[in-house]
């Protein structure tokens, strides 16, 4: 039985970052991926003459070369920063509210305050105070990951202790009564999977800080380029990757992980096993029932499998301006009551759902053939209604719902339908198939108060088994790369302390 320092299960963002970091620092690593390419969500696919980005809309935490964010520092450390052609996105988003607001918010704190004050002049000082609070809460929350536990006290971190368990809605209500203004500030909620009354303020605050201070980015070639670069680090550092290689079992002895078994029956020994797949799948499908401590399943029962999505990947036969795209990120709301709007996610039908319309060609004309546009239309959906749908109705239903989504978007981008050249549709069942996630969850467990901060479901009940993914941390591309990096560094430290 061959032996490695670490076996990583899954070549998603967190798994790739973990494997690359471990390999770069000298560990002998084996990365196992059941798909034929690396990336998980960080990938692309082709239809006709278009190559579609699967999931990345805006990359956070990168920063500029002379003011690097934590993610740029990681890519710099791994030697891939200069291999990628980064594209800075100038504005955060365009937000459209029913009959009242059409606002483009700059990716700069002072400019955003001025832009919001043009629409809400009486609220300017409150807007500034709100942003100041968000920055303060995020910085104190972030600092807890670098402080000794004894120093994490209300005296040292007063904002963290006051706001760590508050929802975004609670904090918004402290500052504003105008619901339109609240939604302009909180528009990213439909991008993060939880309505304001359930979205932790720490997540919203972090989102505001990293996108405004480190700016949103995209990159030439899309997220697959990052995935390929990280995979190359693993290989050039002397470690191994196997594609089309599914792990069917985690091997244990005396209550600790000692390796894995693949679908073809090969057993591979390892001092550590890092799982880049969901804890639910790991405990239920990769371990024998008698090997899973009862407290592990009880622990996971506190968390609810999160939301999935319905997405149309569309290639237009015209440039963006022909149908009215001026910004790449467009957040469109049909209801001002966002908590009511979120209820749409529990229904199969598209009717009043908040929509995210991303036109990649606005920021990168080379992303699609000359004179065309690459667009994704998306809305949040739970998987249950799709799981209950009779199989013989699936194909017809998904395209009927896609038609509804296109009709809704055409209200804001006239002529959109007439310019569709290519389209593919993904439902929650698509995410279940390709990501192997329970419920097709795109953000792991619900990103609510019960699953954040001190309640992140990161605990492992099997010694030498470690998790790294959006299931055990804050979701998103940037956070998952950073979690994978920190997981690897912690694993290396532990291996060295044990003399292994």
Q: Please state the domain extents for the chain.
A: 3-85+221-303+445-497, 101-214, 307-435
pLDDT score of 232: 99
- In the DSSP assignment, the letter for residue 155 is T
- Burial group, residue 316, by CB count within 10 angstroms (0-12, 13-18, 19+): buried
pLDDT score of 149: 86
pLDDT score of 98: 87
Round the CA-based radius of gyration of the chain to a whole number and report it.
22
- What is the C-alpha separation between 142 and 153, in angstroms, rounded? 14
Cβ atoms within 10 Å, residue 113: 17
* DSSP code per residue over 291-345: GS-HHHHHHHTTS-B--EEEEEEEEESS-HHHHT--SSEEEE-S-S-HHHHHGGG
pLDDT in tens, the chain (500 residues): 668 999 999 999 999 999 999 999 999 999 999 999 999 999 999 999 999 999 999 999 999 999 999 999 999 999 999 999 999 999 999 999 988 899 999 999 999 999 999 999 999 999 999 999 999 999 999 998 888 889 999 999 999 999 999 999 999 999 999 999 999 999 998 888 899 999 999 999 999 999 999 999 999 999 999 999 999 999 999 999 999 999 999 999 999 999 999 999 999 999 999 999 999 999 999 999 899 999 998 888 889 999 999 999 999 999 999 999 999 999 999 888 888 889 999 999 999 999 999 999 999 999 999 999 999 999 999 999 999 999 999 999 999 999 999 999 999 999 999 999 999 999 999 999 999 999 999 999 998 988 776 677 778 999 999 999 999 988 899 999 999 999 999 999 999 988 76
pLDDT score of 242: 98
Tokens of 458: 């990161």
pLDDT score of 186: 92
- Burial group, residue 434, by CB count within 10 angstroms (0-12, 13-18, 19+): middle
pLDDT score of 500: 63
Tokens of 104: 């483009």
pLDDT score of 108: 97
pLDDT score of 339: 82
Domain at 3-85+221-303+445-497, CATH homologous superfamily: FAD/NAD(P)-binding domain (3.50.50.60)
- What is the C-alpha separation between 227 and 40, in angstroms, rounded? 9
pLDDT score of 456: 74
pLDDT score of 458: 77
Q: Match 């029962």 to its residue by tokens.
A: 301
* DSSP code per residue over 19-52: HHHHHHTT--EEEE-SSSSS-TTS-EEEETTEEE
């Amino acid at each position: 039985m061959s032996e490695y320092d670490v076996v990583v299960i899954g070549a998603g963002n967190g798994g790739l970052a973990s494997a690359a970091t471990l390999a770069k620092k000298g560990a002998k690593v084996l990365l196992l991926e059941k798909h034929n390419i690396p990336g998980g969500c960080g990938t692309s696919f082709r239809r006709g003459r278009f190559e579609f980005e699967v999931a990345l809309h805006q990359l956070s935490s990168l920063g500029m070369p002379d003011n690097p964010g934590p993610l740029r520092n990681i890519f710099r450390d791994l030697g891939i920063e200069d291999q990628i052609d980064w594209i800075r996105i100038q504005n955060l988003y365009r937000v459209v509210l029913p009959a009242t607001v059409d606002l483009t918010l700059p990716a700069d704190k002072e400019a955003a305050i001025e832009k919001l004050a043009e629409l809400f002049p009486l609220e300017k000082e409150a807007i500034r105070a709100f942003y100041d609070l968000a920055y303060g809460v995020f910085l104190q929350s972030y600092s807890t990951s670098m402080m000794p536990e004894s120093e994490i006290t209300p005296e040292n971190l007063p904002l963290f202790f006051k706001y760590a368990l508050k929802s975004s809605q609670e904090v918004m209500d402290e500052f504003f009564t105008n619901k339109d203004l609240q939604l302009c500030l909180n528009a990213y909620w439909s991008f993060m999977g939880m309505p304001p009354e359930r979205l932790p303020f720490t997540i919203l605050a972090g989102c505001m800080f990293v996108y405004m201070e480190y700016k949103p980015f995209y990159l030439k070639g899309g997220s697959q380029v990052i995935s390929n670069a990280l995979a190359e680090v693993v290989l050039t550092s002397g470690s191994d990757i196997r594609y089309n290689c599914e792990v069917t079992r985690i091997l244990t002895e005396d209550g600790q992980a000692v390796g894995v078994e693949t679908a073809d029956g090969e057993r591979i020994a390892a001092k550590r096993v890092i799982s880049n797949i969901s804890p639910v799948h790991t405990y239920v499908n990769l371990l024998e029932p008698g090997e899973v401590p009862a407290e592990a399943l009880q622990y996971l029962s506190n968390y609810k499998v999160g939301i999935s999505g319905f997405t149309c990947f569309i290639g237009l036969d015209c440039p963006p301006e022909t149908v009215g795209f001026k910004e790449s990120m467009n957040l469109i709301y049909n209801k001002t009551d966002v908590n009511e709007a979120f209820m749409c996610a529990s229904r199969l039908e598209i009717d009043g759902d908040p929509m995210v319309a991303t036109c990649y060609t606005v920021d990168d004309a080379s992303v699609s053939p000359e004179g065309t546009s690459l667009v994704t239309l998306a809305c949040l959906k739970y998987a249950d209604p799709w799981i209950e749908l009779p199989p013989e109705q699936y194909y017809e239903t998904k395209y009927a719902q896609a038609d509804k989504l296109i009709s809704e978007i055409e209200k804001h981008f006239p002529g959109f339908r007439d310019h569709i050249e290519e389209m593919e549709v993904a439902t929650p069942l698509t995410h279940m198939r390709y990501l192997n996630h329970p419920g097709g969850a795109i953000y792991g467990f619900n990103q609510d108060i019960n699953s954040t901060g001190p309640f992140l479901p990161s605990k492992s009940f099997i010694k030498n088994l470690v998790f790294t993914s959006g299931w055990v941390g804050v979701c998103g591309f940037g956070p998952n790369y950073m979690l994978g990096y920190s997981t690897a560094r912690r694993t290396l430290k532990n291996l060295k302390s044990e003399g292994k």
